[in-house]
Each structure stands twice: as C-alpha cells, then as structure tokens.
Amino acid sequence: MPNAKWTNLITLALTGLVLHGCNQVERARPRPKASSSIKELEGVQVASILRGTVGAETVILGWDNSSSPTHKPIKIRGYGLVVGLDETGSSDIPPDVRGYMLQIMARQGIGSEQIGFGDVSPEDMLESPNTAIVIVEGTVPPGAVGRTRTPPSANGRLPEIMPGTTFDVRVYADPRTGTTSLEGGRLYTTDLSPGPLLTGSRQAKRLGQAAGPIFLNPFIESEDVATGDINTLNGRILNGGQVLEDMPLKLRLINPSHSRTRVIQDAINRRFPIERGQTATTARGVSDAVLELTVPPSMRDDPDSFVRIMQHVSLRQVDTDRIANTTRRALQRDPSDAAHAYWRWVALGPQALPMVRKMYDYPEALPRLAALRAGAELADPIAAVSLRQMAQEGSLAERLEATTLLAKLPTDPRSEEALRNLLNDENIEVRLRAYEALEKLRSPVVRRISIPGKFELHEVPSAYNAIYVTQIQRPRIVLLGNVVEILRPLTLGLWDNSLLMREAEDEDRIEIFYRASPMGRSEINRVKPTLHELTLLLAHEPTVEDPSPGLDLTYSEVVGVLHALWRREYVAADFKAQQDRVMAELRRSATMTDYQPRPE
C-alpha cells in the first residue's frame, strides 16, 4: 500500500484553525445547531496542486496518520481466559472477576453438551492450574471496518462473513492472581470494549474480539529466566484481534454549505462506490457542515491510504487528462509537491497513467519516485522497466523501494526473475525485501509448509544463509539459503535442561532430549542436522492422521530454540527478527523527504 508516512501539511494547518474556531463557538453555545457549530474560515491559502479536491474544502476530525506522534487509536480491553498452560495458571481470582468470567464462559457454551464442553463446567475450568485469567488489550485505528454478514443474493449465493480490520493484541496475567507463566497458552474468544477495565453491565459496548495462541518473547533461555530478563506473564497474539463495529470518520467543511456537502459526498462515492459487505455508502452528508465516512472493506487494513486518496479526490468528474497533466507540470515546477502529486494521480485512477508514464524516466529523483509509486499503485506494467533498473542500480533506499513496488504490479516473469536475483544480494535488507515481494506475489520460488494453528515455515533459495522470524500479524519462520545446517560438535541445553541437543555418535544425526514437565515422560528423537528437519520436529504435534514424531512446541518456543542455536554459533547464518527490521526501516526507509529537491 502507499507509504503512510507522508503528511498533509495543508490538512494539519486547517485542522488547527477549525478546531480553534470550534472551541470558541462551543464555549459560547454549549448546544449549537449543526449549521452554526463551525466558524467559517476565509482566505485560507491552499496549494495550487490541491485546488479542486476534497481536502481543499474540508478537514478530517479525530484522525491522524499512523506514523504521526498525534495518532491516537482507540484502546479497547477486557478480561479473558487462557487455557492450555502447564500448571502455571491460578485459581486465585478476585470475586467480581470470577463471577463475570462464569457468566461469559456459560454464554460461550462451556458446560454445554450441545456445544461440546459438557464434560467440564465453568467452575472446574477456573479452578484448574492449567487456566489463567488475563487482561487483553488492543488498539483500533480510526476508520476501522467492522465484521459484517452479507445478505443472501437473489441468485442463491449464501450469506458470507466479511472479517473486520485485524490487529495484534497484548495479553498479560491479572496481577491479583497467582499465575506464574502464560507460555503455551491459548486465549479463548474475549470481548474488548473502550474505556476503563470493568465487569458486568458497567462495561461499554464491545468494539472488538480477540482469540488465539499467545506469543511470548521468543528469545528465552534458562539464564534469561533466572536473571529476570524475560517476562513470561506478558505476551501478544499476532493478528489476534478483529473489529466488530465500523468506526466512521468525519469530514467537516471549512465553509458550511448544503450544496457543497452534496458535491463532496458525490465525488467521494464516485471514487469509492459501495462494495460487497459494506453496510452504507462511503460518504454520507449529515448536515451542511459534516460528512460521515466509512472505509470500504477492500481498504480495511489500510485506513491511512483511504484517507489520503479521499482527500485528493477531484470534486468534478471532468477533464481527468487535464488534471493529470496539470499535476505533472506542478510537480516539475516544484518537486516538493511530490507527495501531493502522487496522491492526486492515485485518486484520479488509471486515467492518469498517460501523464504519469511521462515521468518514469524524469532526471530528478523526487518527481520520478512519485510517478513510479503512482504507477505501481495503479498496477501499470510499464512501470516495471524503470523499477527493475532502480532495484539493481539505485541507492539502498531506492533499491528497497523499487523491490517493494515490483510486488504491486501484475505478474511478469522478468520482474520475478529480477526479484529472485536480489535474493543473492550482499545486503540482507535487500534479500529480505525481495523475499517479501516474492511472497506477496505467491511465487513458487518460496516453499511453504504450514504448521496448523502455529506458523508457516518458508524456505527460500539464496547464496547467503539467514533466519527471519515475524513478530507481528502472520507468524512465519523463513529460512534463506540452500540447506541451513546445524554445526557440530553440538551441546546445547535450554529451559533448565528440559530440552537437550547433541550430535549422535553413530550416524549423521543430532539427538534431541525433551521432557515437557518435571514429572512428565521424556523422549529422545533423532533428526538430520538441518534447521528444516529440526523445526518440523520441534513444532509437529503427533496425531492419528500423522503420528510422526514431534515435540508440539509453540511458535515462540521454536523461535527460541533457533535463536539459541544462532546465539551459540551453531548456525552459520544471519538472524533477523521483524522488530529489528522495523527499527532499521524507520531509520533508512525510502520516503519523499529522503531526496533533496533542486535548490531553486
């Protein structure tokens, strides 16, 4: 999606002026009429490249892009139940929370034979040392889309559940209980509401739900636990939250007018027509001064981009070619308008491509990058030629940018070949960016193995060995290289020696000793000394359908073992966690401000 870091200075300026005016009126009239609640702003200077757009006549309330320090998503929280612990839970629960959880568990079917929990009552489950009461928290971005159910169609198509915006959630043990660890736990479906953490009818209306396996710090070693460096009472669930209710945004006109409200509403709805699963039109005028916006389902996971495109929508659907050309000329005169030019072209849609293409080979970096980004966002296959060249010959920031943009374009064997070649680049950031592009394109060069309910194991050919693990959204372990071997001689003990590894004496294998609990049964398995074989053994849960050996470790435990092997230098490979890469990209990402416009 388009880069959410670009800021609209004009919009921020207007927001401050309008809010200042609103505060004055509200202090004078506690309950003003809708038409008089805004102080008209006259003489506001609008950049020429923005004239005739929605953003030139409105300000958006209660929103700022996610990279801004003033971005304040809605915090939602609730009490939840974690199951599957290894006697590290607690039955010591505050009375009010216990009563509330009993009600919730009964409502979810625990203790009901019809739903499948008839053999365990809610009371017995709360008394078990394998369960724990936790506090669950998440943040809902402004403009989030709620989960909906589509109506049945006349042609016999059945109703369909359209998922809402997803988000990561934080889970931590209630400090008033005696829980000692959440390792290996899974959160039952938990309702999340805004406001203070309450129980019963005092809670606000629920806005989201969360569920799934808990992800603790994956880099756990026994000495870390002993020194208190690891908090096993605090984890998160990757992509475990889902928004249930739409969170509409509001536009406020600078100069209120019923006729202008209708014009703006129609312009937005032309650009964003109602989609399947959308319960209302994208823009709805509620007064002569305010419009309400609903983010379309197709953009549920990127409301920032929706807002930017919406602000740059042209009010009149005429002379698209002329507007695109005027934008191009304005960018040539003043390259500092690159961000606005990009969004204007994207808002115009594919009709802007003839003018955008004229800038693909422009000599100045800033206008050229704006055009290539617009071309990629509009899926123009012609942009691939310049992007492939940039990916090979540009600066590091340009190469990373071009690699990402290539994944937005229609499938092209030449682009896929260029991305495969980048898997052998000396720079690990380029290699990982190339992998992510190939994964987005669902390239067969990425071998994918699903570990049900846990994570995906991806194997990618490369001249350099590397281990890459994700820590947000979809959990993945990525092995780059041909065959990543485990070096020997090998002696490794983890988690107070409940897991031990060493090389076998009589064959080319490594032995893994594992005891799940101090009083549990131990087992010894042998595998080939490769990360592929080891990862599958660690994660696999033996079943009737697939009784092959496996230790049934969680995602965070598997990552912890791989990290320990790398840390002790038993693996000759780079190790990259997604969190590390996020910080690196913040310091060195390709943005419009990375390029200096010409002095004049």
- How would DSSP label each residue in 233-266? TEEEEEEEEEE-S---EEEEESS--HHHHHHHHH
Tell me how far apart the alpha carbons of residues 3 and 302 are, in angstroms, rounded to a whole number: 10
In this predicted structure, the answer to whether residue 164 has a pLDDT above a threshold of 70 is yes
Average pLDDT of span 170-182: 90
pLDDT of 248? 80
In this predicted structure, the answer to whether residue 33 has a pLDDT above a threshold of 90 is no
**What is the separation of C-alpha 412 from the centre of its chain, rounded to a whole number of angstroms?**
27
Tell me how far apart the alpha carbons of residues 343 and 221 are, in angstroms, rounded to a whole number: 48
pLDDT of 527? 93
CB 209 within 8 A of CB 244: yes
pLDDT of 511? 94
The pTM score is 0.75
165: three-class secondary structure by DSSP: coil
Weakest-pLDDT range from 130-144, 255-269, 572-586 = 572-586
pLDDT digits (tens, 9 = 90+) for 36-45: 233 333 444 5
In this predicted structure, the answer to whether residue 112 has a pLDDT above a threshold of 70 is no
pLDDT of 460? 96
3-state SS, one letter per residue, for 366-430: HHHHHHHHHHHHCCCCCHHHHHHHHHHHCCHHHHHHHHHHHCCCCCCHHHHHHHHHHCCCCCHHH
pLDDT digits (tens, 9 = 90+) for 76-105: 999 999 998 888 899 889 898 998 888 888
* Residue 151 DSSP label: P
pLDDT digits (tens, 9 = 90+) for 204-245: 788 999 998 888 766 655 444 433 445 788 888 888 899 998
- In the chain the domains, ranked by start, together with CATH numbers, are 1-91+128-317 (no CATH), 321-450 (1.25.10.10), 480-581 (no CATH)
pLDDT of 302? 84
pLDDT digits (tens, 9 = 90+) for 390-446: 999 989 999 999 999 999 999 999 999 999 999 999 999 999 999 999 999 999 999
In this predicted structure, the answer to whether residue 4 has a pLDDT above a threshold of 90 is no
Provide the pLDDT confidence category of residue 587 given band limits of 50, 70 and 90: very low
Count of other CB atoms within 10 angstroms of residue 353: 20
Q: What percent of the chain has pLDDT over 90?
A: 45
Q: What is the dihedral of CA 270, 271, 276, 281, to 10 degrees?
A: -60
Average pLDDT of span 121-131: 88
pLDDT of 110? 75
Please return the burial class of 449, using the count of CB atoms within 10 Å of its CB with bins 0-12, 13-18 and 19+. Answer: middle
| Cα distance between the two ends of the chain | 32
Average pLDDT of span 454-481: 91
Strand order in the sheet with 466-469: 447-451, 455-460, 476-480, 466-469, 574-577
Average pLDDT of span 328-349: 93
* Total H helices, total E strands in the chain: 18, 21
pLDDT of 389? 94
Provide the pLDDT confidence category of residue 143 given band limits of 50, 70 and 90: confident
Nearest to 483 by CA among 502, 450, 461: 461
